[in-house]
Amino acid sequence: MPKKPKDRLPTRAARKRGLQLALALFAASLCGSTAGAAGQDAGAAPAKPQAAARPPVGEWQSLFDGKTLAGWKETPFAARGKVSIQDGTIILGMGAMTGINWTNWFPKSNYEVRFEAARLSGSDFFAGLTFPVQDSFLTWINGGWGGNVVGLSSLDDNDASENETATVAQFQNNRWYSFRLRVTDELVEAWIDDQEVIGVEYAGRKLSLRPGDIELSAPFGFATYSTTGGLRKLEYRLLAPPADDAKR
C-alpha cells in the first residue's frame, strides 16, 4: 500500500509570491471601486448647460418652429382647453382660458414681437399677449368683452376696457390678422395689420395685470378666453435702447 505523502509547509518563495498576488488583487479592486465612484459622481452632477447667448440687435428670432411646442409650456389654467399643433399653427382649444408660456430667456424692454392670429371659434379674445415692461407686466387684449375690445390691461388699475388704450375692432372668425408689439424704455406701441392701435407713454404709471388667471401668463405668454384661437409666425427681436439711437 503506497504511503500517504506528507503535508508540506509552503516555502519562503511561495509565500512571497502569494503575498504579491494578494496585494495586486487588492490594488486592482481598489482602482475599480474608485473609478466606479467617479463615474457615479459624474452622473449625479452633470455639467450645467451654458445659457443661450442674447441674439443680435435687430435680427428677428423665431419663437415657433411650426412643428412642436419647443420652448413653450401649457399655462396651468383651470378648465383649460387642449393645446395642439395643426398645419404649422398652434391651436389654443376652447376652454375657460387656454394658453402657453414661453420658458426661455426673454427681454424686459427694447424689443418687438410679431405674430399672426385668428379666432377659429367663439366670440371673445383670441390673442391675449402678456408681456414684460421693465419689472412689470401688461396684457394686450385682442377681441375681449364680447369680441371687439382691444387695449392694455392694466394701466393705473384700469383694465383694457377702461383706460385710454381701449379701441374697438371688428374681428371676423377664421380670418388671420397680423399683430406687432413694441416695448421701449418709454413707450408701448401696437399694430394690427400695420395700423397702429396703441401708443402710450408709461413713465409714472402703474403697470399691472388684471387680478385673476391671466397672472399665470407672465412673464410672456398667449391666452384665449372661451374661444379657440390659432397662432403662427411668432417672432421677436431686440431693439437698440433709445440712448443708443440718439447717438447715431
What is the domain range of residue 83?
61-247
Give a yes or no: residue 65 inside a domain. yes
Cα torsion 77, 184, 178, 191 to 10°: value is 110
Can you tell me the distance from the alpha carbon of 92 to that of 228, in angstroms, rounded to the nearest whole number?
6
What mean pLDDT is reported for the chain? Answer: 84
Q: For residue 100, how many other CB atoms are within 10 A of its CB?
A: 22
Give a yes or no: residue 220 inside a domain. yes
Percent of the chain with pLDDT over 70: 77
- Output the pLDDT for position 20: 56
Nearest in space to 63 (alpha carbons), one of 53, 74, 71:
71
Strand order of the β-sheet with 97-102 is 72-74, 97-102, 221-225, 128-133, 136-144, 149-153, 167-168
* Residue 126 near residue 118, CB atoms below 8 Å: yes
- Output the pLDDT for position 104: 97
pLDDT bracket for residue 131 (50, 70, 90):
very high
For the domain that residue 115 is a member of, what is the CATH number? 2.60.120.560
- Output the pLDDT for position 248: 44
Length of the chain: 248
Give a yes or no: residue 198 inside a domain. yes
Give a yes or no: residue 217 inside a domain. yes
**Section 121-150 average pLDDT:** 97
Nearest in space to 64 (alpha carbons), one of 222, 239, 225, 227:
222
Bridge partners (DSSP) of residue 92 are 83, 229
Burial class (CB in 10 A: 0-12, 13-18, 19+), 186: exposed
Nearest in space to 179 (alpha carbons), one of 158, 196, 157:
196
Give a yes or no: residue 196 inside a domain. yes
Give a yes or no: residue 26 inside a domain. no
How many structural domains are present in the chain?
1
Burial class (CB in 10 A: 0-12, 13-18, 19+), 41: exposed
Least confident range of 51-60, 138-147, 233-242:
51-60
- The DSSP element (H or E) to which 121 belongs, if any, is strand 111-122
* Residue 229 near residue 126, CB atoms below 8 Å: yes
Model pTM? 0.77
Cell of 116: 399672426
Q: For residue 28, how many other CB atoms are within 10 A of its CB?
A: 10
CA angle 121, 140, 52 (to 5 degrees): 105
- Output the pLDDT for position 242: 79
1-55 pLDDT, tens digit per residue, is 444 444 444 445 444 454 454 444 444 443 444 333 333 333 334 344 344 578 9
Give a yes or no: residue 43 inside a domain. no
Give a yes or no: residue 30 inside a domain. no
- Output the pLDDT for position 53: 72
